[in-house]
Amino acid sequence: MLVSRGRNPNASEVIGQLITNPGLRSRVLTTLGLLLLVRLGIYIPMPGIDREAFKQFIDQGGQLIGFLDIFTGGGISTLGIFALGILPFINASIILQLLTAALPQLEDLQKNEGEAGRRKIAQITRYVALGWGLVQSVVFAMILRQYAVEGLSEVVFVVQTALALVTGSMVVMWISEVITERGIGQGASLVIFLNIVATLPRTLGATIEAAQTGDRDTVLGIIVLVLVFLATIVGIIFVQEGARRIPIVSAKRQVGGAGVLPTRQSYLPLKLNAGGVMPIIFASALIFLPVTIANLTKSEWLIRAASALNPGAANPWPYALTFFALILGFSYFYASLTVNPADIATNLKRGGVAIPGVRPGSATATYLSGVQNRLTLLGGLFLGAVAIIPAAVERATNVQTFQGLGATSLLILVGVAIDTAKQVQTYVISQRYEGLVRQ
């Protein structure tokens, strides 16, 4: 994408477009309405469960349960029909992305078949999400069966609970796709964003209560943790907004007797974090897969692996190092999907555009590939550090009120907010240019 030094829309212009432009207003209202529907589904209860007994299990669940509860917007603790939320779809997306890299047929569908290929990939992802959602629903139902009300058949309870959960997750998946197509922002990311925001009042309330009732060390620990979180937000913005601007020049053209046309100064932006917030979301979802598989298979080594990858485990290093490696790996993976140096080099050559000091064609592709690899390494390392350092500080200060909120949730919140704001800006800019064309 070539970028010239134009003006981005300011806040007043965005608000003005929101008021006067029916298309943007419709998209925003559609997004808000569908997100409200997701929240309502959290509070539609599943039948046949002793909620008091289950509440005790949640209270003793530690950071793992707390983290999963945040990702589902309280769906785990409230036991609504949307308890699984968007997690099956996220897991299915991970599986499809990995298969796309491994299977040439899927890679060809994604890269060479255009919109039809992307629709086929999306349809396969839905089927995988349904299958994986059914597996997770059965596992969750088997965990919940010890909290079933008396007199209810175990088989009936597992079947009705699994059906309710998988149906709820498919509805959430459908809502997220509608948001992506007809609303503003990426639907799955916005659902997770909403779920995290919904748990903030409870987390902040518990933190304030701990500060009021705790001793001096507790108050100091909370202050240190809050400062670290603020620094984390600054770091997240740096990673999300950071880009290498590669200067480019276009061939000057002679037009009749009018002389040489002047060229505007332009650049090619390569992002520090090309994958945006998706490496964090995928790494967070993937690291909890052993829990689901262990509960399903009862494999001893998987149970040990799931225990080691619990963020609240006595030894935090297996979780921290695995999470860091997953973030770095998915950063490279998503960079390879979103940035194709060979295609960029071809398009630059066709447009008569070149990078100063670099020959067009394969030399440009090699140069861009090297720059992108260095940027991805730097961005992935920084993203991984931002994800685990606040968790280490939380453990060191012994402040447990956040219960898994931590840097991962902050990364998702800030990243999704930035990406959505950019989509709104892009929409406003497109409307601005449409107005110029009409004039």
Whole-number Å distance between alpha carbons of 206 and 209: 5
- The tens digit of pLDDT for each residue in 163-217 reads 999 999 999 999 999 999 998 888 888 998 888 888 777 777 777 887 777 778 7
| pLDDT for residue 13 | 65
- The tens digit of pLDDT for each residue in 6-56 reads 556 666 666 776 677 787 888 889 999 999 999 888 888 887 887 777 777
| pLDDT for residue 5 | 45
Q: With 50 as the cut, is the pLDDT of residue 2 above it?
A: no
- The tens digit of pLDDT for each residue in 70-100 reads 667 677 777 888 888 888 898 888 888 778 7
DSSP 169-225: HHHHHHHHHHHHHHSSS-HHHHHHHHHHHHHHHHHHHHHHHHHHHS-HHHHHHHHHH
Give the relative orientation of helices 87-102 and 278-286 as an angle to the nearest 10 degrees: 100
Whole-number Å distance between alpha carbons of 400 and 403: 6
DSSP 6-52: -PPP-HHHHHHHHHH-HHHHHHHHHHHHHHHHHHHHHTSBPSSB-HH
Whole-number Å distance between alpha carbons of 410 and 281: 11
Which residues partner with 246 through β-bridges?
Answer: 268
| pLDDT for residue 288 | 72
| pLDDT for residue 296 | 63
| pLDDT for residue 437 | 47
Pairing type for strands 353-354 and 243-250 reads antiparallel
Average pLDDT (102-131) is 83
Q: Choose between 384 and 399: higher pLDDT.
A: 384
Instruction: Decide: pTM greater than 0.85.
Output: no
| pLDDT for residue 35 | 92
Every domain of the chain and the residues it spans:
3-438
Q: With 50 as the cut, is the pLDDT of residue 384 above it?
A: yes
> Which fold, 3-438?
Preprotein translocase SecY subunit (1.10.3370)
- The tens digit of pLDDT for each residue in 296-336 reads 667 778 778 777 777 666 777 888 888 889 989 888 888 88
Share above pLDDT 70 across residues of the chain, in percent, rounded to a whole number:
81
Average pLDDT (410-435) is 75
- Structure tokens of 195? 């779920």
| pLDDT for residue 254 | 42
Which residues partner with 268 through β-bridges?
Answer: 246
* pLDDT-derived band at 292, boundaries 50, 70, 90: low
- The tens digit of pLDDT for each residue in 224-268 reads 878 887 887 887 787 778 888 888 887 654 444 455 555 555 888
| pLDDT for residue 10 | 62
